[in-house]
Amino acid sequence: MTSRNQDEMKRAVAQAALDEIRAQLARDTVIGVGTGSTANYFIDLLGDYRHHFDGAVASSEESAERLRRNGIAVLDLNSVGPLPLYIDGADEIDQGFAMIKGGGAALTREKIVAACSERFICIADRTKRVPRLGTFPLPVEVIPMARSHVARQTVQLGFDPVYREGVLTDNGNQILDLHSRMIEDPAAMETRLNDITGVVTNGLFAHRGADILLLGTETGVERHLRP
Protein backbone atom coordinates (compact mmCIF):
# COMPACT_ATOMS: atom_id res chain seq x y z
CA MET A 1 0.00 0.00 0.00
CA THR A 2 1.35 3.41 -0.85
CA SER A 3 0.03 6.66 0.58
CA ARG A 4 -1.48 9.36 -1.60
CA ASN A 5 1.65 11.40 -1.03
CA GLN A 6 3.85 8.56 -2.17
CA ASP A 7 1.74 8.08 -5.30
CA GLU A 8 2.08 11.79 -6.08
CA MET A 9 5.86 11.52 -5.70
CA LYS A 10 5.93 8.49 -8.01
CA ARG A 11 3.95 10.34 -10.64
CA ALA A 12 6.21 13.38 -10.31
CA VAL A 13 9.39 11.36 -10.82
CA ALA A 14 7.83 9.61 -13.80
CA GLN A 15 7.12 13.03 -15.34
CA ALA A 16 10.68 14.14 -14.52
CA ALA A 17 12.05 11.03 -16.28
CA LEU A 18 10.02 11.84 -19.35
CA ASP A 19 11.32 15.43 -19.30
CA GLU A 20 14.86 14.04 -18.91
CA ILE A 21 14.69 11.76 -21.95
CA ARG A 22 12.24 13.56 -24.25
CA ALA A 23 14.96 15.11 -26.40
CA GLN A 24 16.43 11.64 -26.97
CA LEU A 25 13.22 10.10 -28.27
CA ALA A 26 13.70 9.85 -32.02
CA ARG A 27 13.08 7.50 -34.93
CA ASP A 28 15.35 4.44 -34.57
CA THR A 29 15.46 4.87 -30.80
CA VAL A 30 14.44 1.96 -28.58
CA ILE A 31 14.47 2.37 -24.81
CA GLY A 32 14.36 -0.05 -21.89
CA VAL A 33 11.39 0.17 -19.54
CA GLY A 34 11.16 -1.34 -16.07
CA THR A 35 8.46 -2.79 -13.87
CA GLY A 36 6.41 -1.68 -10.88
CA SER A 37 4.06 1.07 -9.80
CA THR A 38 6.54 3.90 -10.49
CA ALA A 39 7.44 2.48 -13.91
CA ASN A 40 3.71 2.20 -14.64
CA TYR A 41 3.28 5.96 -14.21
CA PHE A 42 6.17 6.44 -16.61
CA ILE A 43 4.69 4.06 -19.21
CA ASP A 44 1.35 5.86 -19.12
CA LEU A 45 3.02 9.24 -19.66
CA LEU A 46 5.25 7.82 -22.41
CA GLY A 47 2.14 6.81 -24.36
CA ASP A 48 1.66 10.41 -25.53
CA TYR A 49 5.09 10.23 -27.21
CA ARG A 50 4.62 6.84 -28.90
CA HIS A 51 5.03 8.32 -32.40
CA HIS A 52 8.36 9.95 -31.51
CA PHE A 53 10.43 6.74 -31.13
CA ASP A 54 10.55 3.15 -32.35
CA GLY A 55 9.51 1.26 -29.23
CA ALA A 56 10.62 -0.26 -25.96
CA VAL A 57 12.12 -3.41 -24.50
CA ALA A 58 10.14 -4.42 -21.42
CA SER A 59 11.51 -6.01 -18.27
CA SER A 60 8.33 -8.01 -17.60
CA GLU A 61 5.21 -9.35 -19.26
CA GLU A 62 3.17 -6.92 -17.16
CA SER A 63 5.09 -3.90 -18.47
CA ALA A 64 5.00 -5.26 -22.02
CA GLU A 65 1.22 -5.45 -21.80
CA ARG A 66 0.95 -1.93 -20.42
CA LEU A 67 3.27 -0.56 -23.10
CA ARG A 68 1.12 -2.15 -25.81
CA ARG A 69 -2.04 -0.74 -24.25
CA ASN A 70 -0.41 2.67 -24.56
CA GLY A 71 0.28 2.06 -28.26
CA ILE A 72 4.03 1.57 -27.79
CA ALA A 73 5.71 -1.19 -29.81
CA VAL A 74 7.38 -3.83 -27.63
CA LEU A 75 10.58 -5.23 -29.12
CA ASP A 76 12.61 -8.34 -28.40
CA LEU A 77 15.93 -7.51 -26.77
CA ASN A 78 17.65 -9.90 -29.20
CA SER A 79 16.44 -7.89 -32.18
CA VAL A 80 17.85 -4.55 -31.06
CA GLY A 81 21.34 -3.32 -30.25
CA PRO A 82 22.47 -1.79 -26.96
CA LEU A 83 19.83 0.54 -25.52
CA PRO A 84 20.62 4.19 -24.79
CA LEU A 85 18.36 4.36 -21.72
CA TYR A 86 16.71 2.24 -19.08
CA ILE A 87 14.08 3.75 -16.79
CA ASP A 88 13.00 1.80 -13.73
CA GLY A 89 12.07 2.04 -10.06
CA ALA A 90 13.76 0.47 -7.04
CA ASP A 91 12.82 -0.95 -3.67
CA GLU A 92 15.86 0.64 -2.01
CA ILE A 93 18.73 2.77 -3.30
CA ASP A 94 21.83 3.65 -1.29
CA GLN A 95 24.24 6.59 -1.37
CA GLY A 96 26.44 4.89 -4.00
CA PHE A 97 23.36 4.15 -6.19
CA ALA A 98 23.40 0.41 -5.54
CA MET A 99 19.84 -0.88 -5.32
CA ILE A 100 17.61 -3.67 -4.13
CA LYS A 101 15.04 -4.54 -6.79
CA GLY A 102 12.60 -7.39 -7.40
CA GLY A 103 9.75 -6.58 -5.06
CA GLY A 104 7.55 -7.31 -8.06
CA ALA A 105 9.57 -10.43 -9.00
CA ALA A 106 10.93 -8.89 -12.22
CA LEU A 107 14.58 -8.73 -11.09
CA THR A 108 16.18 -11.04 -13.65
CA ARG A 109 14.74 -9.42 -16.75
CA GLU A 110 15.37 -6.02 -15.18
CA LYS A 111 19.00 -6.89 -14.64
CA ILE A 112 19.34 -8.10 -18.23
CA VAL A 113 17.81 -4.96 -19.74
CA ALA A 114 19.86 -2.77 -17.40
CA ALA A 115 23.04 -4.60 -18.48
CA CYS A 116 22.27 -3.70 -22.11
CA SER A 117 21.62 -0.03 -21.38
CA GLU A 118 24.07 2.85 -21.49
CA ARG A 119 22.24 4.93 -18.87
CA PHE A 120 20.06 3.69 -15.99
CA ILE A 121 17.65 6.32 -14.70
CA CYS A 122 16.19 5.28 -11.37
CA ILE A 123 12.83 6.81 -10.51
CA ALA A 124 11.89 6.55 -6.86
CA ASP A 125 10.08 8.34 -4.08
CA ARG A 126 12.14 9.48 -1.12
CA THR A 127 11.11 6.49 1.04
CA LYS A 128 13.38 4.31 -1.14
CA ARG A 129 16.59 6.18 -0.34
CA VAL A 130 18.46 4.49 2.49
CA PRO A 131 21.87 4.84 4.14
CA ARG A 132 22.40 1.08 3.83
CA LEU A 133 20.58 -1.65 1.85
CA GLY A 134 18.82 -4.51 3.61
CA THR A 135 15.71 -3.32 5.39
CA PHE A 136 13.71 -4.33 2.32
CA PRO A 137 13.96 -8.15 2.02
CA LEU A 138 16.36 -9.06 -0.77
CA PRO A 139 14.66 -11.09 -3.53
CA VAL A 140 16.49 -14.02 -5.12
CA GLU A 141 15.15 -15.83 -8.18
CA VAL A 142 15.79 -19.58 -7.94
CA ILE A 143 15.31 -22.63 -10.13
CA PRO A 144 12.36 -24.36 -8.38
CA MET A 145 14.17 -27.67 -7.64
CA ALA A 146 17.03 -25.77 -5.97
CA ARG A 147 14.87 -23.66 -3.65
CA SER A 148 15.65 -25.49 -0.38
CA HIS A 149 19.34 -25.80 -1.21
CA VAL A 150 19.60 -22.07 -1.94
CA ALA A 151 17.65 -21.25 1.22
CA ARG A 152 20.10 -23.28 3.35
CA GLN A 153 23.08 -21.57 1.74
CA THR A 154 21.66 -18.11 2.44
CA VAL A 155 21.14 -19.05 6.11
CA GLN A 156 24.91 -19.67 6.21
CA LEU A 157 25.32 -16.08 5.07
CA GLY A 158 23.18 -14.81 7.94
CA PHE A 159 19.88 -14.35 6.12
CA ASP A 160 16.43 -15.52 7.04
CA PRO A 161 14.97 -16.75 3.69
CA VAL A 162 11.21 -16.76 3.09
CA TYR A 163 9.64 -18.51 0.11
CA ARG A 164 7.31 -16.13 -1.75
CA GLU A 165 4.48 -18.62 -2.05
CA GLY A 166 2.22 -18.57 -5.08
CA VAL A 167 4.60 -16.42 -7.14
CA LEU A 168 6.20 -17.62 -10.37
CA THR A 169 8.48 -15.27 -12.28
CA ASP A 170 8.08 -14.57 -16.00
CA ASN A 171 10.88 -17.13 -16.43
CA GLY A 172 8.95 -19.86 -14.59
CA ASN A 173 11.09 -19.71 -11.46
CA GLN A 174 10.46 -19.05 -7.75
CA ILE A 175 11.47 -16.24 -5.38
CA LEU A 176 13.12 -16.38 -1.97
CA ASP A 177 13.03 -13.13 0.01
CA LEU A 178 16.08 -12.77 2.26
CA HIS A 179 15.27 -11.04 5.54
CA SER A 180 17.14 -9.90 8.62
CA ARG A 181 20.51 -8.79 7.33
CA MET A 182 21.90 -5.42 6.36
CA ILE A 183 24.22 -5.47 3.34
CA GLU A 184 27.60 -3.91 4.11
CA ASP A 185 29.18 -4.55 0.69
CA PRO A 186 26.45 -4.79 -2.00
CA ALA A 187 28.80 -5.69 -4.89
CA ALA A 188 30.46 -8.52 -2.93
CA MET A 189 27.09 -9.86 -1.76
CA GLU A 190 25.67 -9.69 -5.29
CA THR A 191 28.50 -11.89 -6.51
CA ARG A 192 28.38 -14.20 -3.47
CA LEU A 193 24.66 -14.92 -3.90
CA ASN A 194 24.93 -15.42 -7.66
CA ASP A 195 27.62 -18.04 -6.99
CA ILE A 196 25.13 -20.33 -5.24
CA THR A 197 24.11 -23.13 -7.58
CA GLY A 198 20.44 -22.81 -8.44
CA VAL A 199 20.32 -19.02 -8.17
CA VAL A 200 19.23 -17.35 -11.39
CA THR A 201 20.04 -13.91 -10.07
CA ASN A 202 19.51 -11.75 -7.01
CA GLY A 203 17.95 -8.34 -6.55
CA LEU A 204 21.16 -6.50 -5.70
CA PHE A 205 22.01 -4.08 -8.49
CA ALA A 206 25.49 -3.02 -7.40
CA HIS A 207 27.77 -3.98 -10.28
CA ARG A 208 25.33 -2.20 -12.56
CA GLY A 209 23.74 0.43 -10.34
CA ALA A 210 21.85 3.53 -11.41
CA ASP A 211 23.52 6.45 -13.19
CA ILE A 212 20.89 9.06 -12.43
CA LEU A 213 18.43 9.14 -9.56
CA LEU A 214 15.23 11.15 -9.85
CA LEU A 215 13.97 11.26 -6.30
CA GLY A 216 10.46 12.37 -5.45
CA THR A 217 10.11 14.44 -2.27
CA GLU A 218 7.28 16.43 -0.74
CA THR A 219 8.83 19.60 -2.11
CA GLY A 220 9.63 18.39 -5.64
CA VAL A 221 11.88 16.09 -7.64
CA GLU A 222 15.60 16.02 -6.87
CA ARG A 223 18.06 14.99 -9.58
CA HIS A 224 21.21 13.22 -8.41
CA LEU A 225 24.13 11.85 -10.43
CA ARG A 226 25.98 8.74 -9.29
CA PRO A 227 28.76 9.88 -6.98
Ligand X SMILES: O=C[C@H](O)[C@H](O)[C@H](O)COP(=O)(O)O
For the bound state, the minimum distance from the C-beta of residue 134 to ligand X, rounded and expressed in Å, comes to 15
Could you say which DSSP state residue 171 is in?
T
Supply the DSSP string of 15-62, one letter for each residue.
HHHHHHHGGG--TT-EEEE--SHHHHHHHHHHGGGGGGS-EEEESSHH
User: Between helices 4-21 and 37-46, what is the axis angle to 10°?
Assistant: 50
x/- mask, ligand X, residues 78-97, rule CB under 6 A, reads ----------xxxx------
Among 31, 35, 210, 213, binds ligand X (CB under 6 A): 35
Residue 222 designated active-site: no
| Kind of pairing between the strands at 30-33 and 55-58 | parallel
Nearest-approach distance from CB 163 to ligand X, in angstroms: 17
Contact set for ligand X, span 109-168 (CB under 6 A): 110
225 φ, ψ (degrees, to nearest 5): -100, 150
Given 62, 92, 110, 190, which residue is catalytic? 110
- How many residues make contact with ligand X (CB under 6 A)? 17
* Footprint of ligand X on 40-79 (CB under 6 A): none
Q: Which residues bind ligand X (CB under 6 A)?
A: 34-38, 88-91, 101-107, 110
